[in-house]
Amino acid sequence: MNEIAQLFLELIANLTRFEVLRQFIALGLAFGFWLAVKRQLSLERRHWIGERSWAFLKRLKPLANVLLLWLCLAVATAWLITTTGVGDLARFVVRFYALCMLTRIGLIILQLYLPAKVVQREDVQFIRPLLVVIGAVQLYAQFADLNELFTIEVISLGREGLSLGSLSLLTLGTYFIIVGSVLPARALAALLRRIFTLSAPAYRASALLARYVLTTIGLLVILANVGVNYALLAAIGGGLSVGLGFGLKEVFANFISGLWLLLEGSVRPGDVLLIDSIANGEDPCEVLELGMRATTLWRDRDNVELVVPNQTFFTQSMVTYSGSRDRHRRGQVVIGVAYRHSPQLVINLLEATASTIPRVLASPAPKSLLLSFDNSAIIYGIRYWIDDPMDGIGIASEVGIAIWNTFEREGIEIPFPQQVWHQASTHQQA
Amino acid sequence: MTSGPHLSILVGLSFSLSACGFLGVNKLPRLGNSINVVLELPSDADQVEQSNLKNLLGREVQEFKRLNPQLQVRFRTISSDRLQQELRFRKSRGLAPDLVLLLNSRPLLSLYQGGLATPVSLSQEERRHVPSWLLKSLEHRGHQLGLPLLMKPTLACFHRSHLKQAPRTLSDLLGVARAGSSIGLHANLTSLDWMFSGFGVAPFPSQGQHLKQQGPLNPALQWLYRANLEPFITFVSTDEELRRGLAEKRFVWIPCSSGWIPTLRQSLGADLGIAILPAGPAGPARPLVAVQTWMFGPQSSPTQRRLAKQFAFFTLNPIRQRMMGLQQGTGFPVNPAVTLPLKAYPVLSVMATSLGTSTSPNPAQYQFLSINAEKISSLTNQLLAGTKPPQLIVPDLQHLLDTMPRGESQHE
């Protein structure tokens, strides 16, 4: 660690050199000029020529001041290099700033094709940390020898030590591979969807599988670069086996279950499942994400996200509305009608009423049945098909309201429960 | 979405500030009290030679800091094949080193002309630390381009177990080869300067010296031609091949730099013999001496320039020079005030003898050689491949030597 401190002191000493300070002063002056000019120009609020014709220009507007700053810095650097012949440090700052700016433009373009939430997550989790790391490493490389820094031994493991470079690769490399594999995996899955005309759930499943594959390849490349000690790896593997037998068993079981479910295709992102069903089974959830340990489900009735361990789907039976055939689902409304009305009339009315609901499928046609003779009423059921299993409850409500309106109009009675009481005689009482 | 670039700058600044706090502000270097020194390492050197060079400078830096605790001297190394490129990179960022210790004065002039070096002005008092002929060899058009630190002469290295004593003349050398002992020589006329000098050729002529009056080029090339016909004489292209050849006992005798001695000693132990190079019919060999040279950087502040000069002269003081000579055993002190116990150190004694006849090209001559390297290499190949007889090569070589810039002075 002392060596790292020495290198850092050297970095500070270099920063105080006259020629270096001159470059930073030039950049500082350019920055000051930008602060003064940007208020005068108000580029972000001003109307741009062609703004109405090209919507893309409007999206770029928030970057106007960033672009202006880059221009100021670039001009200052060019002037410095022309007059003094020394300015590559300032040029590095300008180039790095341009890189940051290009990533912003790239993200704006990405937003045209991907959901804003995905792009924002990529920005926060991948792009910004990557820029910080690249900037820090490249800035150091301007002042000192990067190889020297990376070859410093930070961890001693017997005869072989772990250098700072290897440690950085292991930690930062692993992080960036895990978070950075999202977009390439999506692109790969999109290509597969185009070639094999995959359904939406199959597309999402292949994106996840592609991410696992890319991450695994990346991690193997990192281990090969670090020069992994196979004896050490075997020892870690042995320790992990014991760990799996005890504490990590559940984690591992969930991970394998997740992989199996993906390969089998029984649970895929986009599927609709009935899980933790309430009494009438009307509690569908949509699979949002099949993670390494757990699956995230979305329940529309109360807009909650349920995190269910993958193993649950592996060991329990479940109802899915998005299997291999289609996503159609049958709904039913049960209603009691007074005994005095003709069953055939009621059945005709129920079928006609259900057919008027827009979200009820015309084919197969709604079907009404007499289900039972109850104490106070004859019980009928109207059964119909819907396209989206997530809409079951809403459509049932619409059908129920329509039936009530029809019965009201046609004078059909929905009876209250009735009970006949008989009073006992006096003789019997004695 | 637009806060990213600003955020990066903020993160960088806060990282620097927190690191300052972590290290303690009092440890941070004071403005101008710190100099950067670069040590050139031979790109083909092995671990022993590299660590020897690093230790040499490391000791000097440590000693200087012990006596001047308020000053900071930081040194790092650059491989000789990346020297120009690396210095240019640093200069373009305002980070040119204040002082560079070159392996020899070969690249001095091109570095100066490329704006990567700056001349140093010396007072009469300062000039007393170095022989004037050596200072002159580092001059160009009245500018003192560098300061010498150590002299590394070219010697003869051999296996004692195979040769009782080293061949004293060029004829003896051919005799040794004919007797079945394998000899390694450079396949490069520039590196065979010691052989040419034995025939009276001055490969690096000084003012007023005219080669045509000496005219011994033909016998020298004839000797080379005959040597090439000997099956036990091998011509190799690099220093590394020669050095490894002797260490692996494929060669019994090679011309060697004094800087190679620790490496060869490690491989051969007491079997390593050191001698002066064989003399020719016209007199002793006048081999080239590599002068480790301090070069001053172009971007130092006046304070840094003063400190760099102070450090360079610290390494030239008689005590440090003597220590370097005795501890390293690979270089000879340049300070004439230094006396060495030559009887107790036979290698230093051989070096002293060799230095008595050595020559040191000036920066312009080195530059001439590097400009004409391809032409010289072509002549060598023609001779060694037998495509042109020696007498047909003489005019071309004569022309090259005639056009070579003359030295200001020679070590006589």
Helix B217-229 and helix B373-385, axial crossing angle in degrees, nearest 10: 50
Tokens in use for A103? 């990533």
Residue scoring higher pLDDT (A384 or A426): A384
Give the per-residue pLDDT at A237.
Answer: 75
Structure tokens at B39: 């040590």
Instruction: Please report, rounded to a whole number, the percentage of residues in chain A having pLDDT higher than 70.
Output: 93
Same domain, A143 and A285: no
Do A30 and A94 have their domain in common?
Answer: yes
* pLDDT greater at residue B113 or residue A207: B113
Cα B217 to Cα B192: distance, rounded to the nearest angstrom = 13
CB-based contact B2 A62, cutoff 8 Å: yes
* Dihedral in degrees, nearest 10, Cα atoms B398, B404, B406, B412: -60
Share of residues in chain B with pLDDT > 70 (%): 88
Q: Are A148 and B76 a contacting pair at CB < 8 A?
A: yes
Say whether both A51 and A128 belong to one domain: yes
Q: How many A×B Cβ pairs under 8 Å?
A: 101
Confidence of residue B213 (pLDDT cuts 50, 70, 90): very low
Q: What is the mean pLDDT of residues B264-271?
A: 92
Q: Which of A39, A19, A35 is nearest to A83 (CA)?
A: A19
Q: What is the reported pLDDT for A315? A: 83
Least confident of A295-304, B22-31, B125-134: B22-31
Residue A280 lies in domain: 267-321
Closest to B12 (Cβ–Cβ): which among A104, A139, A148?
A: A139
DSSP string, B272-335: EEEEPPPBBTTBS---BEEEEEEEE-SS--HHHHHHHHHHHHHHHSHHHHHHHHHHH-SSEE--
Query: Looking at residue B402, what is its pLDDT?
Result: 82
The pair phi, psi for residue A46, each rounded to 5°, is -70, 155
Q: Is the pLDDT of residue B207 over 60?
A: no
Does A118 or B26 have the greater pLDDT score?
Answer: A118
A97 touches chain B (CB under 8 A): yes
Q: Are A346 and A340 in contact (CB under 8 A)?
A: no
Of B362, B314, B336, which Cα lies nearest the Cα of B104?
B362
Do A15 and A141 lie in one domain? The reply is yes
Enumerate the residues of chain B whose CB falls inside 8 A of the CB of residue A124. none
Task: Compare CB distances from B1 to A8, A23, A62 and report the shortest one's residue.
Answer: A62
The rounded radius of gyration (Å) of the Cα atoms in chain B is: 24
Contact list in A for residue B36 (CB cut-off 8 A) is 10, 13-14
In this prediction, residue B85 carries a pLDDT of 93
For residue A421, tell me if it sits in a domain: no
Residue of B286, B97, B253, B246 whose CA lies nearest to B179: B253
Flag the least confident range among A61-70, A153-162, A291-300: A153-162
The pLDDT assigned to B133 comes to 87
Mean predicted confidence (pLDDT) in A124-129: 94
Contact B4 A89 (CB under 8 A): no
Q: Does B29 touch chain A (CB under 8 A)?
A: yes
Please give the structure tokens belonging to residue A291: 């993670």
Give the rounded percent of residues in chain B with a pLDDT score beyond 90. Answer: 54
> Tell me, what's the pLDDT at A157?
67
A299: its two tokens: 């329940």
Q: Kindly list the residues from chain A whose CB atom is less than 8 angstroms away from the CB atom of residue B7.
A: 128
What percent of chain A shows pLDDT beyond 90? 37
Question: What is the number of residues in chain B?
Answer: 412
Tell me the pLDDT tens digit for each residue of B135-186: 988 999 889 999 999 999 999 999 999 998 899 999 999 999 999 999 999 9
Q: How confident is the model at residue A87 (pLDDT cuts 50, 70, 90)?
A: very high
| Token couple for B32 | 């101008």
Check whether residue A6 and residue A117 sit in a common domain. yes
| A308 shares its domain with A342 | no
Q: Determine the residue of chain A that is closest to B28 in CA distance.
A: A9
The CA radius of gyration of chain A, in Å to the nearest whole number, is: 34
Report if residue A339 sits inside a domain: yes
Q: What is the 3-state secondary structure (H, E, C) of B262-277?
A: HHHHHHHHHHEEEECC
Structural contact between residues B233 and B227, judged by C-beta atoms closer than 8 angstroms? yes
Place B13 in a pLDDT band, splitting at 50, 70 and 90: very low
- For chain B, which residues make up each domain, given as ranges? 15-151+289-340, 154-285+359-402
B29 pLDDT more than 70: no
Instruction: Kindly report the CATH number assigned to the domain that includes residue A300.
Output: 2.30.30.60
The token duo for B273 is 């013999």
Q: Which of B3, B6, B8, B78 to mutate to test the interface with A (most CBs of A within 10 A)?
A: B8
Instruction: Tell me whether domains B15-151+289-340 and B154-285+359-402 share a fold.
Output: yes
Confidence of residue B2 (pLDDT cuts 50, 70, 90): very low
A206 domain residue, yes or no: no
Q: Which residue out of A20, A34, A59, A86 would a mutagenesis test of the B interface target, given it has the greatest number of B Cβ atoms within 10 Å?
A: A86
* Nearest residue to A353 (alpha-carbon basis) of A384, A318, A387: A384
3-state SS class at B95: coil
CB < 8 Å to A96, chain B: 8
Q: Is residue A406 part of a domain?
A: yes
Closest CA to A383 of A354, A356, A403, A407: A354
Please report which confidence band the pLDDT of residue A203 belongs to, taking 50, 70 and 90 as the band edges: confident
Q: Given CB atoms, is B17 within the 8 Å cutoff of chain A? A: no
Looking at beta carbons, which residues of chain B come within 8 Å of A103? 4
- The confidence band for B210, taking pLDDT boundaries of 50, 70 and 90, is low
Which superfamily does CATH assign the domain made up of B154-285+359-402 to? Periplasmic binding protein-like II (3.40.190.10)
B15-151+289-340 homologous superfamily: Periplasmic binding protein-like II (3.40.190.10)
- Confirm if A198 and A270 have CB atoms less than 8 A apart: no
- Distances, alpha carbon A260 to alpha carbons A209, A287, A329, A394, B30, in Å: 11, 16, 26, 34, 63
- Spatial CB neighbours of A357, under 8 Å, sequence gap ≥ 6: A384, A395, A398, A399, A402
pLDDT at A36 over 60: yes
In a domain, A303, yes or no: yes
Q: For residue B83, which amino acid is it? A: L
Answer yes or no: do A144 and B76 touch at CB < 8 A: yes
Residues in B touching A127 (Cβ below 8 Å) = 4
Q: Would an 8 Å CB–CB cutoff place B8 in contact with chain A? A: yes
Higher pLDDT, A289 or A132: A132
- Tell me which chain B residues have a C-beta less than 8 angstroms from the C-beta of A110: none
Q: Are strands B139-140 and B143-144 parallel, antiparallel or unpaired?
A: antiparallel
Task: Count other Cβ atoms within 10 Å, centred on residue A325.
Answer: 7
Residues A41 and A76 in one domain: yes
Model confidence pLDDT, tens digit, residues A13-27 = 888 888 899 999 999
A117, A150, A183: which is the final residue of a domain? A150
**HEC secondary structure over chain A:** CHHHHHHHHHHHHHHCCHHHHHHHHHHHHHHHHHHHHHHHHCCCCCCCCCCCCCHHHHHHHHHHHHHHHHHHHHHHHHHHHHHHCCCHHHHHHHHHHHHHHHHHHHHHHHHHHCCHHHHHHHHHHHHHHHHHHHHHHHHHHHHCCHHHHHCCEEEEECCEEEEHHHHHHHHHHHHHHHHHCHHHHHHHHHHHHHHHCCCHHHHHHHHHHHHHHHHHHHHHHHHHHHCCCHHHHHHHHHHHHHHHHCCCHHHHHHHHHHHHHHHHCCCCCCCEEECCCCCCCCCEEEEEEECCCEEEEEECCCCEEEEEEHHHHHHCCCEECCCCCCCCEEEEEEEEECCCCCHHHHHHHHHHHHHCCCCECCCCCCEEEEEEECCCCEEEEEEEEECCHHHHHHHHHHHHHHHHHHHHHHCCCCCCCCCCCCCCCHHHHC
| CATH classification at residue A359 | 3.30.70.100
Partners of B31 on chain A (C-beta within 8 Å) are: 16
- The reply to whether residue A123 touches residue B4, judged by beta carbons under 8 angstroms, is yes
pLDDT(B407) > 70: no
- The arithmetic mean of pLDDT across residues A174-193, rounded, is 91
Minimum CA–CA partner of B12 in chain A: A136
Q: Check pLDDT > 90 for residue B250.
A: yes
Indicate yes or no: CB of A142 within 8 angstroms of CB of B95.
Answer: yes
- One domain, residues A352 and A308: no
Q: With CB atoms and an 8 Å threshold, state whether A66 touches B2.
A: yes
User: A261 falls in which pLDDT band (50, 70, 90)?
Assistant: confident
**pLDDT band per the 50, 70, 90 thresholds, residue B212:** low
Mean pLDDT for chain A overall: 85
Q: Does A132 touch chain B (CB under 8 A)?
A: yes
> Structurally, how many domains does chain A consist of?
3
pLDDT band of residue B215 (cuts 50, 70, 90) is low
Please check whether residues A403 and A360 belong to one and the same domain: yes
DSSP secondary-structure letter at B133?
H
A89 touches chain B (CB under 8 A): yes
Structure confidence at residue A152 (pLDDT): 84
Q: Is A128 on the interface with B (CB under 8 A)?
A: yes
Indicate whether A361 belongs to any domain.
yes
Q: Are A102 and A57 in contact (CB under 8 A)?
A: no
The backbone region for A424, taken as left when phi is positive above 0, alpha when psi lies in -120 to 50, beta otherwise, is beta
pLDDT category at A159 given cuts 50, 70, 90 is low
Three-state DSSP state, B38? strand
A152 touches chain B (CB under 8 A): no
Other Cβ atoms less than 10 A from the Cβ of B66: the count is 8
Q: Are residues A305 and A356 in the same domain?
A: no
Residues A137 and A23 in one domain: yes
Q: Does A252 touch chain B (CB under 8 A)?
A: no
Q: How far apart are CA B65 and CA B227, in angstroms?
A: 52
Tell me what the pLDDT averaged over chain B comes to: 86
- Is residue A394 located within the same domain as residue A301? no
Range name among A89-98, A400-409, B8-17, B284-293 with the lowest pLDDT average = B8-17
| B29:A132 CB<8 A | no
Decide if B118 touches A, using CB distance below 8 A. Answer: no
Strand runs labelled E in B138-249? 139-140, 143-144, 146-159, 183-186, 233-236
CA separation for the pair A136, B48 (Å, rounded): 34
Kindly state whether B92 is in contact with chain A, defined as any CB-CB distance less than 8 angstroms.
Answer: yes
Count Cβ atoms below 10 Å from residue A140 Cβ, excluding itself: 15
Residue A206's nearest CA partner among A195, A222, A221 is: A195
